[in-house]
Structure 1
Amino acid sequence: MYFAALLARTEDGWEASDTELDDVETLSDLTELAREATAEDETVLVFIEQEDSWFALVRIDGEEDPRIYVSDAAAAARSSYGEIILTDELLGRDPGSLDDELEELTDLDGTEDGEPDPPSGFTEEDEEESGPTAEPVPVGPIGDLQILSDLGMSQRELLALDSDVLAEIADALGASEVLETVR
């Protein structure tokens, strides 16, 4: 089960809204959704949480690139919402590196150079399961550890979170009441 919310900082304090991520397919879509949450170029935080498995914070400050923190990249990688925020840049990968490797290995007819004929009874499903794998995703936190430091939560406090993390973050930001209204 997922929970997602937007917290937008305004002149009057924080405003919260729950959000549906069903139409969000990329980090750009998520960034655009967050920027629409405020009329000004104010700070917007996107909270995404999957039960107690992992959580993510995406911070958008005006037109700047989003800043991202993920509590457990490996757990998030197994989630459709995690796939949105775990960009190649965040993971330290060259964009499309696996695709490039596959393209170099594959001839125009779709077979690999020097590839033996598949054993009898070998299906396309078997091939997909035994195909190349992506680079491993690190276990544990990844991203901007200072994402909330200017808002009242240090790196050490962020890394120490382990349960009811969104409530603790909202409390540190002075936004717990507004977050509770959308939970």
Structure 2
Amino acid sequence: MTAHGGPEPQDRIPHRPATPELGDDRMPVIRPDGVIEQPPPVSGEVARRQQASPPSPSVPPETSLTAVLGDCRREGLWRVARTTRVYSVMGDVVLDLRQAVFDDDLVQIYAYTMMGDVKVIVPPGFEVHLRGFSLLGDLKHKDHSETGTPVERPRTVVITCSGVMGDVKVKTLDVGQVEPKWWKRRKG
């Protein structure tokens, strides 16, 4: 109801109080003769906020990746969350952190496997803590880097595992290096 006792005007958003910075929240109205009435101009403060640059994209503090009867792979340039949960049910998950962008110096990865594998690839110089258990599975960390040149800002990666008949493997490889095939690893 308006002050004179009549119904609220049709161009007002119902059940929304007027705010001082937005005026009375008027929406454009098309009159019966086809003319469009525009709402009052936006105040200077609101216009300045609308012209401000949008915030930089940020990664949420926690993300998850799931592979069920298939594969999931994150590689190349991507932003790593502070906490990542990985679920692998009869599938494989690969997290390649060699070219990833980090917001924090400490990254936690929780890997849950059931008849699936999780592989985390880190560059040389990263401190890796692998802990947890896998019933009828393996938890391994191997350094395959050829140069051993650490990245300019090493990070700490804590991987906590829980699994049944699944493997969690951490590989240290140089950027661009391909993991040696199993028959080449056996020779050397």
Task: Select the structure that is richer in helix.
Answer: 1
Normalised TM-score (structure 2): 0.25
Give TM-score scaled by structure 1 length.
0.26
Larger Rg: 2
Of structures 1 and 2, the one scoring higher in RCO (CA 8 A, sep 6+) is 1
